Amino acid sequence: MVQTDPRIDAFIASAAPFAQPILAHLRALVHDALPDCVETIKWGMPHFTVAGKNVAGMAAFKAHCAFVIHGDGRQGDAMGQFGKITTLADLPSVAVLTEKLHAAHERTASGTKRSRAKPAPKADIAVPDDFAAALAATPDAEAHFATFAPGYRREYLEWITEAKAATTRARRIAQAVEWIAAGKKRNWKYERC
């Protein structure tokens, strides 16, 4: 027997009139596809879990709805895989959604996660001559810069090389050398103490 969560009843009832039939349809579809699912609220939105693992979720906004099948990727600028849903016609067929829900259930049950392609590593930025000379003139800065992780060195190098005016570049180099000599990373102001 389907067990419903009264919070989801309230969520659907408080949604915009266009969204109510979409949310009710998605809810029924999930229960048909996954009879052992449990309804809950996560991140302020209705979710469906199996054995405590998130399988799907839905949301309603001012002008559209969203449906998320966890681990199935993301497409476009809307939350979820199906874009901005404004009518039932915007959804794939029941068979397609059921297949995706079964696949998500199998992924969560087996503990496997969908593999994501790793981003390509960023190309190295050569240390500009003027910055290298400024570092060499301040041994503490040169020593600290050599010990920084590549990402921290990159932050300084990008900041300096992105300067458009020569005066801006010179000012950034002077500031960078001062901070590096003190062992500070480029964004040290935003680190937690």
What's the pLDDT at 111? 66
Same domain, 39 and 69: yes
Average pLDDT of the chain is 88
Both 91 and 17 in one domain: the answer is: yes
* Co-location of 17 and 102 in the same domain: yes
Provide the pLDDT for residue 141. 94
Q: Are 14 and 49 part of one and the same domain?
A: yes
pLDDT, position 48: 92
Look at residue 118 and tell me if it is in a domain: no
Using a pLDDT cut of 90, give the percent of the chain over it. Answer: 61
In a shared domain, residues 97 and 141:
no
d(CA 11, CA 61): 11
Residues 77 and 134 occupy one common structural domain: no
- Please state the φ and ψ torsions of residue 145, each to the nearest 5 degrees: -60, -35
What was the pLDDT predicted at 77? 59
Please determine, for residue 188, whether its predicted confidence score (pLDDT) is greater than 70. Answer: yes
Is residue 14 included in any domain, yes or no?
yes
Q: Are 41 and 7 a contacting pair, CB within 8 Å?
A: yes
- pTM tops 0.85: no
How many domains does the chain contain in total? 2
- In this structure, the answer to whether residues 96 and 135 fall within a common structural domain is no
According to DSSP, the residues that pair with 85 across neighbouring strands are: 65
Residue 186: pLDDT band by 50, 70, 90 thresholds? very high
70 and 143 together in one domain: no
174 burial (CB, 10 Å; 0-12 / 13-18 / 19+) is: exposed
Q: Domain boundary at 110, 141, 165, which?
A: 110
Same domain, 141 and 102: no
The enclosing domain of 20 has a CATH number of 3.90.1150
pLDDT in tens, 55-101: 999 999 999 999 998 877 665 556 777 888 999 999 989 999 999 89
In 3D space, the residue among 190, 183, 122 whose CA is nearest the CA of residue 158 turns out to be: 122
| Residue 16 predicted with pLDDT over 80 | yes
In a shared domain, residues 21 and 88: yes
User: Last residue of some domain: 110, 140, 163?
Assistant: 110
Within-domain flag for 117: no
Identify whether residues 58 and 106 lie together within a single domain. yes
pLDDT band at 20; cut points 50, 70, 90: very high
pLDDT of residue 112: 61
Residues 159, 100 within the same domain = no
Query: What pLDDT was estimated at residue 104?
Result: 86
Does some domain include residue 163? yes
Asked if the structure places residue 82 within a domain, the reply is yes
Residue 126 CA, distance from chain mean position: 31
Select the more confidently predicted residue: 78 or 173. Answer: 173
The mean pLDDT of 128-148, rounded to a whole number, is: 95
Residue at a domain's end among 110, 139, 168: 110
pLDDT in tens, 144-155: 999 999 999 999
Domain with 157, as residue range(s), is 129-188
Secondary structure (DSSP) of the chain = -----HHHHHHHHHS-TTHHHHHHHHHHHHHHH-TT-EEEEETTEEEEEETTEEEEEEEE-SS-EEEEETTS---TTSSSSS--B-SGGGSPPHHHHHHHHHHHHHHHHHT-----PPPPPPPP-PPPHHHHHHHHHSHHHHHHHHHS-HHHHHHHHHHHHT--SHHHHHHHHHHHHHHHHTT--TTGGGS--
